[in-house]
Amino acid sequence: MLESIPLEYYLGLSAIIFAIGAVGVMTRKNAIIIFMSIELMLNAVNLTFISISSFFGNTGGPIFVLFVMAVAAAEAAVGLAIVLALFRLKKTVYVDEVNTLKW
């Protein structure tokens, strides 16, 4: 498969997905959507790892991806718990309404 499509195309695609995720984090206000954008960024990186590993033919990439998925799952559990705790206190999930800490 990689013989027909050059590596740069895969890397370009994952860079675009990563950028979409990063822009999403910076522009959205809903904590859940920000979190989804972060997941999008992580998955873009997974795509990079897989395509590079397939290009070089070594096994480091897929193993890394498995661990990234596990870490992302752990992060999701903790993150949703934090958002839940916030919702119980403030009845909102919008980050711009959470502003008690400032100077």
Q: Is 11 exposed, middle or buried (0-12, 13-18, 19+ CB in 10 A)?
A: middle
| Single-letter amino acid code for the residue at 33 | I
Question: Does residue 67 interact with other proteins by CB under 8 A?
Answer: yes
- Minimum distance from CB of 33 to other proteins (Å)? 11
* Residue 3 vs 103, nearer CB to other proteins: 103
| Single-letter amino acid code for the residue at 53 | S
Q: What angle do CA 80, 86, 91 make, to 5 degrees?
A: 115
From 13, 25, 30, 94, residue interacting with other proteins (rule: CB under 8 A): 25
Map the footprint of other proteins across residues 34-63, applying CB under 8 A: 34-35, 38, 41-42, 44-45, 48-49, 52-53, 56, 58, 60-61, 63
3-state SS class at 30: strand
Interatomic CA distance for residues 67 and 40, integer angstroms: 16
Question: Does residue 64 interact with other proteins by CB under 8 A?
Answer: yes
Q: Which of 68, 99, 94, 67 is nearest to 83 (CA)?
A: 94
Q: Where do contacts with other proteins occur on this chain (CB under 8 A)? A: 11, 18, 21-22, 25, 31, 34-35, 38, 41-42, 44-45, 48-49, 52-53, 56, 58, 60-61, 63-64, 67-68, 71, 74-75, 78-79, 82-83, 85-86, 89-90, 95, 98-103
